[in-house]
Amino acid sequence: MKTARIFAILVVASAIIPGIGTAISFGEEGPFPIAHPYNIISAPAAGGDRILWIESTPLSFPDPGYYPWVPCAVYSYNITSQTKTLIRPRANNARSPDIDGDLAVWEEERGSSTDIILYNFTTGTVSALHTNKFQQNPRLSEYCIVWEEGFVGEREIWMYNTKSGNLYGLSTGKTDCFSPDIEGNTVIWVEKTDQDGYSIVSRDLVSGRQFVLGTTSAATFPRIDGGKAIWEDEGLIHLASNEEGGSILTDEPACRSGAIISDTIVAWSEDGRIFCSDLLETQTTRIGKWHASMKPAILDEGIVWIEYDQSALSSILYQPFSPLPKAGLQVVPCATIMPPTRGEQSGQLREGECAWYALDISAGTTQASLDFSWEEVNDSLSCTLIGPGGTIFRFTDSDDEVMDARVRISVTSHAGIIPGRWYCAISGESIRKNVCYSLIWYEYQVQKE
């Protein structure tokens, strides 16, 4: 008969990135229109279950960039409640929306300057961030906003902390810096290095260290999420991080734009179609109308993009991801786990970081158990299992019914757990400082005579 053996964590994935991943698949239903055909002048911004975009009004002025003082309207849509909300009915030459949590930002002409406008979804309040120079391309991460300030050739990157009220210059003294983005304690931007070249710069706000993630031949709009930055250059999609260096996601040059990343999902427009790539599963899916689909954004439960019709009007379409199958798996808390053998991994995390592990499940396994613990009960960590085909389980301290900085959970199936390559992500949700963790896996196989 077969005996129990350990759940082998033999390969530590090279990525140390925040967030969790999911394999991409789309259902047969959809896409669904979010905004009626109109003139949408911004790429939609997406965060959680919310979408934010800007429309020009009236239709007689199709591009307010060429007509001063043309009013715009700012809208949001909640995928969960399926409600559309007019946030700001009149916003002069509004551009560049972004959203994270309960905050939204965009740029807007006010008087003789361009300021950053903040909107709080919880309170419904609108406020402005004003400086003496033009502010453009704001990006948001929790309570921190970054933007480019000044005219072309002398632009600088600035950051504002909405909690402390502190204002920081991040790229002062440089030649020309623009197109910033921010995630947690990391800010990236484009810096002009010479007449024909640009660098993608990454700065750690805690240590102050700066890295050059890559170079480009033209100005671009890099985006960062999950510890990875993405941008397009010369028709190719580039991916890079401080720890892993750079890589190219696409094989051949093509007409690509609007590259964006969310956790492990990458999306872009290619020849007027939307392409989605799953970094974990190395699969690419194509959606949208040929030559009509542009400017994607990624939500928790799907993807949105702008689609143009024959009259040059544009709509926002939403395509949900397919529900992820659980394959007959059950999750039960375990007060004690007492196998004859065990395998263990350990490490340290800061808030917002995530350690990825890869493991292999053998055929015939009916129960997989984990014992995940950390040092301090006031810290909040989570453990996520990602199975073949995208099956996801996420565990926190309360899931085993005991709040003790420890999770003891078993995943079981009488028919057998899906064999193959699984992934495990340990994530720091709320941590006061570096925290040490321990992860122990057990694999049980059904006994056969």
> pLDDT tens for residues 380-394?
888 887 776 555 677
Least confident window among 55-69, 122-136, 281-295: 55-69
pLDDT category at 402 given cuts 50, 70, 90 is confident
Q: Residue 151 is encoded by which pair of tokens? A: 């005219």
Q: Residue 34 is encoded by which pair of tokens? A: 């979010």
* Higher local confidence (pLDDT), 122 or 418: 122
pLDDT for res 442: 78
Nearest to 306 by CA among 290, 291, 293, 320: 293
**DSSP calls for 203-264:** EETTT--EEEEEEESS----EEETTEEEEEETTEEEEEETTTEEEE--SS---EEEEEEETT
Q: Residue 347 is encoded by which pair of tokens? A: 């490490």
Mean pLDDT of 308-322: 84
Q: Residue 307 is encoded by which pair of tokens? A: 């689609």
Nearest to 95 by CA among 117, 67, 121: 117
Q: Report the alpha-carbon distance of residue 278 to residue 324 in Å, rounded.
A: 15
Kindly tell me if the per-residue pLDDT of 342 is higher than 60. no
Q: Report the alpha-carbon distance of residue 31 to residue 283 in Å, rounded.
A: 20
pLDDT category at 3 given cuts 50, 70, 90 is very low
Here the contacts of 109-115 (C-beta below 8 Å, separation 24 or greater) are: 109/68, 109/69
| DSSP state letter for 199 | E
pLDDT for res 13: 30
What top-level class would CATH report for the domain 32-320? mainly beta
Residue 334 vs residues 176, 278, 353, 410: alpha-carbon distances, Å? 57, 33, 27, 7
Least confident window among 41-45, 112-116, 123-127, 322-326: 322-326
Q: Report the alpha-carbon distance of residue 51 to residue 303 in Å, rounded.
A: 10
Kindly tell me if the per-residue pLDDT of 356 is higher than 60. yes
Q: Report the alpha-carbon distance of residue 110 to residue 90 in Å, rounded.
A: 11
Q: Of 140-149, 273-282, 323-332, 431-440, which one has max mean pLDDT? A: 140-149
SS3 label, residue 286: strand
pLDDT for res 73: 92
Q: Helices marked H in 2-135 — which ranges?
A: none
Strands 420-430 and 380-386, bridge-based pairing: antiparallel
Mean pLDDT of 188-196: 89
Q: Residue 101 is encoded by which pair of tokens? A: 């949590």
> pLDDT tens for residues 146-178?
999 998 889 999 999 999 999 999 987 778 999
> pLDDT tens for residues 200-216?
999 999 999 999 999 99
pLDDT category at 281 given cuts 50, 70, 90 is low
Q: Report the alpha-carbon distance of residue 143 to residue 197 in Å, rounded.
A: 33
pLDDT category at 428 given cuts 50, 70, 90 is confident
CATH number for the segment(s) 330-445: 2.60.120.380
pLDDT for res 326: 45
pLDDT for res 27: 65
pLDDT for res 19: 29
Q: Residue 164 is encoded by which pair of tokens? A: 């402390």
Kindly tell me if the per-residue pLDDT of 63 is higher than 60. no
Most distant CA pair in the chain: distance in Å? 83
Which contiguous run of DSSP H or E holds residue 36?
strand 32-38
pLDDT category at 446 given cuts 50, 70, 90 is low
Enumerate residues 6+ apart whose C-beta is below 8 A from 381. Answer: 349, 372, 374, 396, 397, 426, 427, 428, 429, 431, 435, 437
pLDDT for res 384: 80
Domain-by-domain residue ranges, the chain? 32-320, 330-445
> pLDDT tens for residues 86-138?
999 988 889 999 999 999 999 998 877 899 999 999 999 999 998 888 999 99
pLDDT for res 51: 95
Q: Report the alpha-carbon distance of residue 174 to residue 342 in Å, rounded.
A: 54
Q: Report the alpha-carbon distance of residue 153 to residue 181 in Å, rounded.
A: 19
Beta bridge partners of 270: 256, 273
Q: Report the alpha-carbon distance of residue 337 to residue 371 in Å, rounded.
A: 8
Radius of gyration, CA atoms only, the chain = 23
SS3 label, residue 4: coil
Kindly tell me if the per-residue pLDDT of 197 is higher than 60. yes
Kindly tell me if the per-residue pLDDT of 294 is higher than 80. yes
Least confident window among 17-31, 87-101, 120-134, 239-253: 17-31
pLDDT category at 10 given cuts 50, 70, 90 is very low
pLDDT for res 1: 26
Residue carrying structure tokens 């007449």: 195
Enumerate residues 6+ apart whose C-beta is below 8 A from 360. Answer: 8, 10, 419, 420, 421, 422
CB 269 within 8 A of CB 294: yes
Mean pLDDT for all residues in the chain: 81
Read off the pTM: 0.68
Q: Report the alpha-carbon distance of residue 233 to residue 231 in Å, rounded.
A: 7
Strands 156-161 and 167-169, bridge-based pairing: antiparallel
Q: Report the alpha-carbon distance of residue 52 to residue 104 in Å, rounded.
A: 8
Peptide bond into 296 cis (omega under 30): no
Which contiguous run of DSSP H or E holds residue 337?
none
* Higher local confidence (pLDDT), 422 or 213: 213
pLDDT for res 343: 67
pLDDT for res 279: 81
Residues in the chain: 449
pLDDT category at 336 given cuts 50, 70, 90 is low
